[in-house]
Every structure is written in C-alpha cells, then in structure tokens.
Amino acid sequence: MKELTGLLVEKLALHGYGIAHAIGKTIFIPHTAPGDRVDVVLTQERKDIAFASVKRFQKRAPGLQDPGCEVFGGKDACGGCDWLMAPYKLQLEWKDALVHSVFDSFVDPALIRSIKASPQERFYRNKAFFPVSSAKGRLYYGMYQSWTHTVIPHKQCQIQMPVFDKIAQRVIELAQKAGTQAYQEQKHAGNLRQIGMRSSADGSEIVVVIVTKSARLPFTQLLVKHLCHEFPQIVGIVQNIQRERSNVILGKDDRLLWGKPYITEKILGQSFRVHYRSFLQVNPGTSALILQDMKSLVGAKDKVLDAYSGIGTIGLSLADRAAKLSLIEEVPEAVEDATRNAEINKIRNAEFQLGKVEELLRKSLRSSYDTIIFDPPRVGLDEAIPSLVAKAGISRVLYLSCNPMTLSRDLKAFFSRGYRLVELQPYDMFPQTWHIETLAVLQKI
C-alpha cells in the first residue's frame, strides 16, 4: 500500500476525519486532530480524494490527552469513538465549527446557537449491541472496526454504561461453557450473533437481549439463573432470532426467556415504558435538555402533530401544553409503548396512528395543526413532506435531526416553500464521537 510522510492535518470534516492534502488529493484520516503531523498508509484512493490510516505521529497537536482506551486509534481500532484523544471542551469547539461549515452558506450564522454540552461526557449510552466472534476456539465480544465487520474486543467501553461490559462478559463465559458457537457471517454458520442491553438512566432496570441465528439455545436456564442472581437490576432477558443472512441486527421473532421485554424510564417527571426494540435517545441527559427546549417552543393550546414519534417521549412531554396531540409511528412495539405511556401519565388528549409517516401524513394533514414535530431517521424526510406541510398551512416546524447533511437538504426544501429559520440549536448527544443532534425551528412566512 502507498505510504505518505509528514502530512499536516489542517481541519476536521464530517464523520470525524482529519483532512490533509498531498499528491493532488484531499486525504481523510481518522483519529487525528488539526495540527497533527502524521505518516499514513492509504487505504482507499480515488481521483481527487483518498482515505488513510495513521502509521506514525511525527507530532501531535497541542492540548490533546490520553484517550483512556486500549483500542482507540491505530491499525486495529474499534469504530465506536472518534475523538477520545480530545478534551471535551475542544470536542465542542470542533462540533460548533462543523455545524457552521454545513449551514453558513445558506443560513444567517447569527441564527446558529452554540452547541449545548452533554451533562455526561463518558459512560452515557443507555443501549448497546455487541457483536460476538471467536478465535482459537474462544468466544469474545466487542465493537466493529470502522467500515468493517471485524469485531474488536475491549476491556471497558468509554461510552457505554460500565455494567454492560460486565454483563456481556458473563454471557460470553456461560456461552463458552455450554459450547455455543459464534455466528460466522461469511459462512452463515454458528449461532450466537449479538449481545444487547437497554438500561434506564439510573441503571435500576436492564433488559438483556441475546441475538441468535436459530431458536435453539441450550444454555438458557443457566443464563437466566446466573444473570438474574449476579445482576439484580436485570428485569428481562429476551432471545431474538435473526435467521437471515443480513446486516440487520434484530430478526422478527422473540422468545421471552425471563421477566419483561421493556424497562421503565423517567423523563422530565413522566414515566415511559420502553420496549427493547423501540427508539429512545441513547443519552438521557442531553435528551432531557432537548425536551425542555422543545416544550418552551410550543405555544399554549397548540394543535401538535408528532411524526416519527417513537414511544412518545417528545409528543407526550408536550401534552400539558397542547390542545390536541397526534402521534405517528411505524414500529408496532413503539406505538404500543406510546399508548401505554399515555395511560401511565394520565394523558387524555393524545391519539396514535400506526403506519408509514409519509403515507399517514397525507391523511393527517387534512386536519388543522399549529405545530409539527419531526425526529426522522438519518436519511431525513421524504421529499414530498415539505410540500405537504406547507400546503396544510402549519405555522411552526420543529425538526430534530441526527444528520447535518440531510437536515441541510430538508431545510432548503422548507425555505423554498415559504418557511424561514428562527434558530438552529445543536446538542451533543454523542460525546467522544463526531455526531451532532440539531434542532431547527421553522416559521411559516
């Protein structure tokens, strides 16, 4: 492979890459900071760009720190984190710069607020799935290396709740003792695919998910006995069966081995039932900051439509301000959770719709709404949605996005249909990574 020496990292790009220039190309280098001077090995090369890995640091940028993780950076790096080497204040500065690099060309920079920090910098994630592999007859778990399905084992992940590693290691020990084989993706052989966990923010309730290729799992009784005894915070153990030759983690079939398949979470004084399949933001502290801000933006007695509503965390938190509340979600378990959550919190002004957001919006927007909320997947909104919203005359749009690029595309679509930006507020939902959560507030002109 081609090697280049003495490259100066000039700035950062989306996806957490440091950018250098050489041989007439822009070189993208992970786990680097502006000011680093590095020797690299090219891993991919195209006409105008190339990707590289660091072979050696000639000089490190000032102000960096020990990442505190044995599998961060380097040739065999875990793909979970991007910026463990940077103090948290510096990470926030980098994220502010990335937001401006995406939006300044078509948005008044004065409308872009400084990023709001996460209350917790490490060990914040309340959900994790660890792929399982084996070597020399020994099972192990870890995280995928970036852009591969190579499992990189670790001692303690710096962004998951610490108990997750303890539970995962115990599952591995029990599976090894029972002679269970790790799933082999290339051969579609073996059985144990993933070990997953979802926890309440305070760690008092955890659901454990064992993902297998087949329904047969001979050590289930041993598993339930040991996990429940050693980890009393576990409230449920589920076997999920993913029979397909697929990158999708979860299959369609579940077996409840013990307890219940959901946790109960407290958010801004409300109780929420969260099925292990349902979407919930992984950083409880930052999620609470976002909900508080969104609540302040909804007018008293507004009619509110919450699209991509999940278990109802956003919509139901606004129920005391809304005259009417409609929630749309396509995951059945999430709709079931949301309905139950309305009952738990004695909310009576909410209605729920199960189905594709794009299809249901055409029907729902025939009714009158003052505010619509979007919290879509990374791909953003269907191209028809901005027109539907504008045609319905909805005066306020609250758009929460986990992808600055698709948010940029969708904002331009709303601008061309008579909406203006009131403010753009970034949040750090994912410390130690490049990812940014952004709330865009739009008003119809």
* pLDDT values of the chain reduced to their tens digit, one per residue, 445 residues: 799 999 999 999 999 999 999 999 999 999 999 999 999 999 999 999 999 999 999 999 999 999 999 999 977 889 999 999 999 999 999 999 999 999 999 999 999 999 999 999 999 999 999 999 999 999 999 999 988 899 999 999 999 999 999 999 999 999 999 999 999 999 999 999 999 999 999 999 999 999 999 999 989 999 999 999 999 999 999 999 999 999 999 999 999 999 999 999 999 999 999 999 998 999 999 999 999 999 999 988 899 999 999 999 999 999 988 999 999 999 999 999 999 999 999 999 999 999 998 888 888 777 789 999 999 999 999 999 999 999 999 999 999 999 999 999 999 999 999 999 999 999 999 999 999 999 999 999 9
DSSP class of 377: -
Domain limits, CATH 3.40.50.150, in the chain: 100-119+282-444
> What CATH homologous superfamily does 3-62 map to?
Nucleic acid-binding proteins (2.40.50.140)
Pairing of strands 49-59, 25-29: parallel
Domain limits, CATH 2.40.50.140, in the chain: 3-62
Counts for the chain of helices (H) and strands (E), in that order: 9, 23
How far apart (Å, rounded) are the C-alpha atoms in residues 352 and 350? 7
58-59-62 Cα angle (round to 5): 170
Q: What CATH number is given for 127-266 in this structure? A: 2.40.50.1070
How far apart (Å, rounded) are the C-alpha atoms in residues 324 and 352? 12
Q: What is the 3-state secondary structure (H, E, C) of 158-226?
A: CCECHHHHHHHHHHHHHHHHCCCCECECCCCECCEEEEEEEECCCCCCEEEEEEECCCCCCCHHHHHHH
- Per-residue b or e along 154-186, where b marks 16 or more CB atoms closer than 10 Å to that residue's CB: beebbbbbebbbebbbbbbebbbeeebebbeee
pLDDT, residue 54, reads 95
- Residue type (1 letter), 89: K
Angstrom CA distances, 365 to 219, 388, 391, stand at 51, 7, 9
How far apart (Å, rounded) are the C-alpha atoms in residues 380 and 422? 20
Asked if 401 contacts 427 with a C-beta cutoff of 8 angstroms, the reply is: no
pLDDT, residue 339, reads 96
Domain limits, CATH 2.40.50.1070, in the chain: 127-266
Question: How distant is the alpha carbon of residue 350 from its chain centre?
Answer: 27
The catalytic residue among 78, 81, 157, 402 is 402
- Residue type (1 letter), 364: S
DSSP class of 116: B
- Per the annotation, the verdict on 81 as an active-site residue is no
Considering the domain 100-119+282-444, what is its CATH architecture? 3-Layer(aba) Sandwich (3.40)
DSSP class of 112: B
How far apart (Å, rounded) are the C-alpha atoms in residues 340 and 135? 45
